[in-house]
Amino acid sequence: MRRRDFLTTGAAAAASQLRGQAPVARPNILLIVADDLGSTDLSIQGSDLATPHIDSIAQSGVRFTNGYVSCPVCSPTRAGLMTGRYQQRFGHEFNPGPEGQADDTFGLPLTETTLADRLRSLGYSTGLVGKWHLGYKPELHPLKRGFDEFFGFLGGAHPYVNSRLVLRGTEPAGEVGYLTDAFTREAVSFIDRRHRQPFFLYLCYNAVHNPMQPSPSHLARFAGIADERRRNFAGLLSPLDDGVGKVLAKLRERKIEDNTMIFFISDNGGPTRQTTARNDPRRGQKGQVFEGGIRVPFFMQWKAKLPRGRVNDHPVIALDVHPTAVAAAGGTIPASARLDGVNLLPHATGSRTAPPHESLFWRFGPQAAVRKGDWKLVWENDPPRLYNLAADAAESTDLASSQPAKMRELRETYEAWNKTLAEPRWRVRQNPAKRKLN
């Protein structure tokens, strides 16, 4: 059973974290997740492609320039995002297999409490639109994991022009049109129907994930881009940005934008070989624990409470979304829940200037990494490599031999964390003995 007893209400406690201000109406919470979007795929992050609507979330709120996810691939990141815990703690280290294969029975364990569980216990309406990727079996379905409504698909990927696997609740949705536009339509509908009470909307676009299937109308906007792959990528990104704009416009129309907490992230860095997604100048891509695989856009807006246009350079991670949203909603999470994420509200307002985390960690099969301050230790193949990210964003200069003390410090920090984790429950494709930073 899920541990709903982890949650207690406490609006006064949450309010005290917001500069001691008097409580206000609980905010709506909108969590927007893009799929395989690189850290520099947005114009506000340096892209050559315009994304004005997504940019506006950062411009009207806080942009975390060192935003991370807890895994360089989809499902483990989403498991961490939904629970606020490193997913390796409960064995969710890899993507489950496609439905119908031997490992399709696995998903987010029922022992874990989701963000939707917690917010629904606080009286929120909860909805998921888009990609789930946390289990196929009936007991793992979103409607059994805290969501009142679900429109989307259960797996890891889906074509944009064939709605064969798209569900409304537990039933096939039928023909829905171009998928990115359909997810936008359903998100707008959810806000229209639920705006009179606090809601949590988890909006998980599958853009800009493969396959490269831009609609003709979106592709026509980029006829001037000569490179076909880049043109197709722009054709996937454009409806994503348009969709975010329509969702934001609906919040304004319903006069609830100011009191809606909005997060925007990607689930991992870009898979540049397939889609021209950009992580430059960072090294690596989806599936790697170099910066290109785990550094993502990370924006947070709440006009009623957060400053406009603030930039925060401290490292944060998607695990932080869960405790931040619960605190804003007036809930408290006792230490017995063992969350790894932290409440970002004091850091976003500027009332707390210390870094939210002393260290951040990654483990993905034989790959591992730890970041502590500006230093990052990466282990992909022997031997481990040490980088100073402040001086070397591209992770191009290995300092392991010249900084033995720092190397030893980070290795010991990682090993202490690694000892607290479970072994993965499926798809161990490499030797588990190679998990140590030898």
Q: Among 64, 78, 77, which Cα is nearest to 299's?
A: 64
Whole-model pTM: value is 0.92
The reported pLDDT for the residue numbered 426 is: 65
Spatial separation of the C-alpha atoms in residues 323 and 37, rounded to whole Å: 24
Could you state, in order of their start, the residue ranges of all structural domains in the chain? 4-349, 359-435
End-to-end CA distance of the chain: 39
Helix runs in 205-339, H state only? 216-219, 228-253, 272-275, 291-294, 321-328
- Which CATH class for the 359-435 domain? alpha beta
Q: Tell me: the pLDDT tens digits for 204-263?
A: 999 999 999 999 999 999 999 999 999 999 999 999 999 999 999 999 999 999 999 999
Angle, alpha carbons 195-199-205 (nearest 5°): 100
Are 245 and 308 within 8 A, CB to CB?
A: no
Q: Among 141, 126, 135, 109, which Cα is nearest to 28's?
A: 126
What are the phi and psi torsion angles at 72 (to 5°)? -85, 10
- The stretch 4-29 carries a mean pLDDT of 49
pLDDT at 431 over 50: no
The reported pLDDT for the residue numbered 216 is: 95
CATH superfamily of 4-349: Alkaline Phosphatase, subunit A (3.40.720.10)
Mean pLDDT rounded to a whole number for the chain: 91
300: which strand partners? 62, 263
Catalytic residue numbers read 74, 133
Q: For residue 115, what is the enclosing H or E element?
A: helix 115-121
Q: What is the amino acid identity at position 159?
A: P
Q: Tell me: the pLDDT tens digits for 17-38?
A: 443 444 558 999 999 999 999 9
> Rounded to an integer, what is the distance from CA 3 to the centroid of its chain?
23
Spatial separation of the C-alpha atoms in residues 376 and 387, rounded to whole Å: 5
Q: Among 393, 363, 390, which Cα is nearest to 378's?
A: 363
More confident residue, 163 or 375: 375
